[in-house]
Structure 1
C-alpha cells in the first residue's frame, strides 16, 4: 500500500508541476518511467511491450494507463469489458497509437481507482497537443519549424514494422501548417468524407471504423464551430450524418450500450437540422439496428411509427427503411399478414424513389433493389412463406460483390427456412459453417441473424443437444466464432 501511495503522490506532483501552460514532457516522462520500473519490480512478473513515455504526449498517457491497469492486476480484455470499449482499442491507447477519448478515460480512471490522475493527465495532454498544433499553424521562426521537423521524424521513426500509421504530434503539426497556408476543409470536403465513410461501413471491420469516425467527428466539431452562420443547415446535416454513422458502427462492433447512447445523440443532432427526413432516418436506422440487437419490439415500433409519421409515406430512403424494418419485426412477432402488408407498401414506395437513392448500391445511405429483395428474403424465411427459397435466390443474385457480411446474412435466411421445414441439425450446421467462413469480419447483424436460426427451432426441440451446442458457440466472442 505504501508503494501505491508513493506512486500516486509522485505522479500527481509531476502532473501539477507540468500543468503550467505547456507540458514539461521530460519531467513527466521520467516520473512515469520510474513508476513503471518500480511497479514491474514489485508487482508485475512479466515485461510488457515497451512504451516510451517521452515519444509523445499520447505515449505518456498510455504508459500511465498501463501502469494503473497492471497495478490493478487486470488484463486488457478484463478492463475493456468493464469500461465498454474494444480491448484492441485499449491496447492502442496504451501504446500511444490512438488518442483516447475523454469519456473512456473517465471510465478507466474510475474503474482503475486512479483517483483522477488519468483524467487530469488526459486534460493536460489534450491541451498540450492543441497548443502545439495551433502554434505550428502560424509558425515562421526557423527554430520552431525545425522543432516541428524533429517531431515529425520522431513520430515516423516510431512506426517501425507496423502497417498502420498512428496519429503523431508531428503529422498534426504538418497538417496544421499546410491548412494555415491553403485553408481548412470546407463543407463540401466534409460532405464527401461522410459519403466515403458510408461506402466503407458495409465491408470494413467495425472496430477500425469506430476509431476513424470518432476522430473525424472530433475534427468536425472544431470545423463546425468556425463555419459561417449562413452555412449552418449544411453543417448540421453533416453533423447528424456523421453521428448516425458512429452510432451504427458501434452497434456493428457489439458496443451496444455506447451505441444506444449515440443514437440518442444522433437524434438530437438531427433535430438541429429541422429536416423531417433527417430525423426520420435516425429513427428508422436505430430501429433497423435495434431489430438485430433484440431490443424491445415496442420501442422499435415506436421509432418506426415516428419515422413514418414524419415522412408521411413520401418516397425517400427513410420511408423505405422504416417499412422494411417494420415488415421484418412483424414477421418475427408472428404477424405475417402485417409483415406482408408492409412489404407491399415498401415495394410501392421503392417504385417512386429518386434515382440517386435507388442507384446508391454501395453506401449505407442508399436503398436499392437488392435491399428490397434482402428484406423480402428474411420476411419470407421468418414467416415460412412458400416462396422463401425463390426470394433468397433472387436476393443472392442481386447482391453486390465485396460485401461479404450481407451475403452471409442471406445464406443464413436459407438456414432459417431449413430449420422451419424440419431440417434442424442440417440447418444449424449449415449456419455455423457460413458464419465461420466469414472469419473475423463478423458484425452484430450477422450474429443476430445466426441466432434467428436457433430461434426458428420449435419449442419442443429447443432442448436438443445440437441446439444447446449451437447457442453456446454463438455466445463466444466474434473473434472465436
Structure 2
C-alpha cells in the first residue's frame, strides 16, 4: 500500500517503511491521512469525497517508532488475520431482480425433467471454467442464487432426473465451498464441503464423491486448517477409492504430499509424490487433457505439487525444474496458478538462503496480480507459507519486512 501511495504522489524514491508506519497509525484510527487523501483517491481511482469526509482531520504522525520486535509481530499478526477475514461480497444492481425471477420460476415449475438436468449440468460446467478467472466476490452471489433455484427443482423432480440434479447440486455446493475458501471464510467453506459430499453420496455417483472429497483435502491447505486435518481428509479419500485411479485419488495424494512437506516430513512427502505419479499415469485422457476446469488433472498440476514438495525440502534444482515445467504448461488464462508457482519459486530461493531475492520476487508477484485478486486467500496463504521458510536470522531483513507489510496491507 505504501508503494502505491508513493507512486500515486509521484514520489518514486520515498521512504516506504516510514509511510507504512503512518498507514498503521491511520488504520488504528490514531490519525487521519489528510495530506495523503489525494494519493489514496488517485491510487484507487475514486473521488476523494467518496473516501473521506469533509471534516477536519488530524495530520499523519511522523513520530511513530514501535520497537522492531513489536513491529514484526504486528505485521505477521495482521497478515495472518487477513488470511481468514471474509471479504465483502458485492452484488451488481441487476441482481435486485433475482427474487422476482425466482418467484416466477417457482410458480411455473410443476415438475423438473431431464431437460432441466441437461441445462444445469451445462451451468456447472461453465462455472468450473470461470472459477479461477473471475473474482470470488462476483461468482459467489451467482452460485448461491443458482443453489436456491436448484433446490426448488430437486424438490419437484422424480427419478432419473432427481439423481442428476442432486449430482449437479453436489458440484455447485463444492464450487461454493471453493469460493468461500478464496474469500477467507474457512468455517462456512467447511460446512459447504460437508453438504457437497453428502449430496454426492445421495446422487450415487462415486466419481463425484471422490472428486469432491479430494478437492476438499487440497483446499484445506489454504483454509487455515491444521496439516493433521488435511492428512486425515486425504487418507479418508485414499481409503474410500481402494486404489482405483481417479481425479479424487490424485487430489488426495497431492494434498498428502503438500501437508507432509509443510510438516517437514520430507520422506513421507516424496513417497506421496511418487504415489501421485503412479495414479497420474493411469488417469483417463479426459482428466489429463482438461487444463481449464478445476476438476481436471493435467500434467501442470503434477509439476505444481512437485514444486511445493521440493521447495519445502530445499531441493532447489528439482524445485526449479518443476516450476519451469508447470509455467510452460499452464495456459495464459491460468494466471492465478502461474502466480502460485512463482510464489513457490520465491520460497525455494528463501529456503536455500537467497532471502532478499526470494522476498523481493514474492512482493513483485503479489503486486502484479490484478487488484481484484490481491485479497485472494489462497494466493495470500501461498505467499505467507513461502515467507515462513525464512530462517530466524534473516527474519528482520528489509525485503522480508516489506513482504509482510504488503500482505498485511492487502
The equivalent of 1:320 in structure 2 is: 250
The equivalent of 2:380 in structure 1 is: 447
Contact conserved, 1:277 with 1:310, CA < 8 A, in 2?
no
Identify the match of residue 418 of structure 1 among 337, 340, 349.
349
Matched position secondary structure for 1:364: coil
What residue ranges of structure 1 are gaps of 5+ in the alignment?
1-46, 49-80, 98-158
Q: Does 1:260 align with 2:190?
A: yes
How many Å apart are 1:269 and its aligned residue? 2.1
Matched position secondary structure for 1:87: coil
The equivalent of 1:54 in structure 2 is: none
How many Å apart are 1:320 and its aligned residue? 0.6
Matched position secondary structure for 1:475: helix
The equivalent of 1:349 in structure 2 is: 279
Q: Does 1:408 align with 2:339?
A: yes
Matches within 5 A, 1:50-129: 86-89=87-90, 92=91
Contact conserved, 2:114 with 2:161, CA < 8 A, in 1?
no
Contact conserved, 2:106 with 2:152, CA < 8 A, in 1?
no
How many Å apart are 1:471 and its aligned residue? 2.0
Query: Who wins on radius of gyration, i.e. which is larger?
Result: 1
The equivalent of 2:395 in structure 1 is: 462
Matches within 5 A, 1:31-430: 86-89=87-90, 92=91, 166-167=96-97, 186-385=116-315, 386-430=317-361
How many Å apart are 1:220 and its aligned residue? 0.3
Task: Summarize the Cα distance change of 1:232–1:403 in structure 2 as closer, same or farther, 3 Å threshold.
Answer: same
For residues 167 and 103 of structure 2, what CA distance do their matches in structure 1 show? 29
Task: Summarize the Cα distance change of 1:219–1:252 in structure 2 as closer, same or farther, 3 Å threshold.
Answer: same
Per-residue CA deviations over 1:250-308 (Å, capped at 9, x if unaligned) read 11122222212222222322232344433333322122111122311111111111000
Matched position secondary structure for 2:97: coil
For residues 166 and 113 of structure 2, what CA distance do their matches in structure 1 show? 21
How many Å apart are 1:312 and its aligned residue? 1.2
What residue ranges of structure 2 are gaps of 5+ in the alignment?
1-48, 51-81
For residues 405 and 185 of structure 1, what CA distance do their matches in structure 2 show? 35
How many Å apart are 1:430 and its aligned residue? 1.1
How many Å apart are 1:460 and its aligned residue? 2.8
For residues 361 and 88 of structure 1, what CA distance do their matches in structure 2 show? 28
Task: Summarize the Cα distance change of 1:88–1:295 in structure 2 as closer, same or farther, 3 Å threshold.
Answer: closer
TM (normalized to structure 1)? 0.63
Task: Summarize the Cα distance change of 1:242–1:183 in structure 2 as closer, same or farther, 3 Å threshold.
Answer: closer
Matched position secondary structure for 2:224: coil
The equivalent of 2:16 in structure 1 is: none
How many Å apart are 1:170 and its aligned residue? 6.2
How many Å apart are 1:165 and its aligned residue? 6.2
For residues 215 and 414 of structure 1, what CA distance do their matches in structure 2 show? 39
Per-residue CA deviations over 1:163-187 (Å, capped at 9, x if unaligned) read x56425665678789879x989511
The equivalent of 2:34 in structure 1 is: none
Per-residue CA deviations over 1:111-168 (Å, capped at 9, x if unaligned) read xxxxxxxxxxxxxxxxxxxxxxxxxxxxxxxxxxxxxxxxxxxxxxxx7xxxx56425
Matched position secondary structure for 1:387: helix
The answer to which of 334-343 and 393-402 deviates more is 334-343
Contact conserved, 1:276 with 1:310, CA < 8 A, in 2?
no
Task: Summarize the Cα distance change of 1:273–1:436 in structure 2 as closer, same or farther, 3 Å threshold.
Answer: same
Between 1 and 2, higher relative CO (CA 8 Å, sep ≥ 6) is seen in 2
Task: Summarize the Cα distance change of 1:466–1:289 in structure 2 as closer, same or farther, 3 Å threshold.
Answer: same
For residues 373 and 367 of structure 1, what CA distance do their matches in structure 2 show? 11
Task: Summarize the Cα distance change of 1:421–1:392 in structure 2 as closer, same or farther, 3 Å threshold.
Answer: same
Contact conserved, 1:280 with 1:306, CA < 8 A, in 2?
no
TM (normalized to structure 2)? 0.73
Provide the aligned C-alpha RMSD in A.
2.8
